[in-house]
Amino acid sequence: MVELSREEKKQLCQELTEHLPKIRKLLNLTQAEFGDMTGLSRVTISQIEGGKVKLTWLHLNAIMFICVSNIRTKEYLYANNILGTRFLQFVQCKDENIPPDTNVTVRTELIKAYQDMLAFQKQQG
């Protein structure tokens, strides 16, 4: 079974932190509403998004539960390869040589739209 090191978990938390505002917007939730759903306070969500508090492994798992339960955020995660194959293998208790199960079909136009959006954001600085 895939095991994630402490460093890998830390990197996954950093990666998800970068996408947290976008994920919240896809769900059309305020920080307070998102906090209610994840069990985190509005202040904690704000501090994580503002870089004042680091996202913990516990936070990541609470947020991922919400994300995989919603098609928009699930598509966003898959289309942008957020957290990646090893994370999926880990949470699905898979060996490294067994690909993770993915039960979402991401529409091609969504992948293109996400890629265009990311390219535009990079151009804007």
Residue 51 forms part of a structural domain = yes
Asked if residue 105 belongs to a domain, the reply is yes
Q: Is residue 85 part of a domain?
A: yes
Q: Is residue 1 part of a domain?
A: no
User: What is the C-alpha to C-alpha distance for residues 117 and 112, in angstroms, rounded to an integer?
Assistant: 9
Whether 114 is covered by a domain: the verdict is: yes
Residue 19 has pLDDT above 90, yes or no: yes
Number of domains in the chain: 1
Look up the CATH number of the domain holding residue 28.
Answer: 1.10.260.40
The residue range of the domain holding 67 is 6-124
CA distances 85 to 5, 33, 38, 97, 115, Å, are: 15, 29, 23, 11, 19
pLDDT for residue 121: 84
Give dist(CA 78, CA 75) in Å, integer: 5
**Whole-model pTM?**
0.77
d(CA 107, CA 22): 19
pLDDT digits (tens, 9 = 90+) for 48-76: 999 999 999 999 999 999 998 898 898 89
Share of the chain above pLDDT 90, in %: 62
99: left (phi over 0), alpha (psi -120 to 50) or beta: beta
65 part of a folded domain:
yes
The verdict on residue 29 lying in a domain is yes
